Amino acid sequence: MNQATTVSSTAPTLHGHLAKEWCGKLLPLQVLQSQRGYFVGTADEEGPSRESNEYFRTDELARQALQDGNWTQKQEP
């Protein structure tokens, strides 16, 4: 008998809005780092892109913001 893995519908799949709207790419959101700090963004072979308006002082703060949805989406690149 085949068994299927059930994925909880309460766990959202988070993808970058700007990556999809401006580049046509469906890329997962992740925590990235630049000289200004940590941010919520996407990345692929062409490089990183910031999705959050905010920069965070630490990796941990950025990860918590991503997990909790406590960050603001940029509307334009």
pLDDT in tens, 10-59: 345 589 999 999 999 999 999 999 999 999 999 999 999 999 999 999 99
d(CA 48, CA 19) in angstroms, rounded, equals: 10
Please give the pLDDT value at position 4: 44
Please give the pLDDT value at position 1: 42
Is the pTM higher than 0.85? The answer reads no
Please give the pLDDT value at position 8: 31
Distances (CA, A) of 43 to 5, 12, 25, 39, 61: 28, 19, 10, 12, 19
Alpha-helix runs per DSSP H in 1-77:
17-23, 59-68
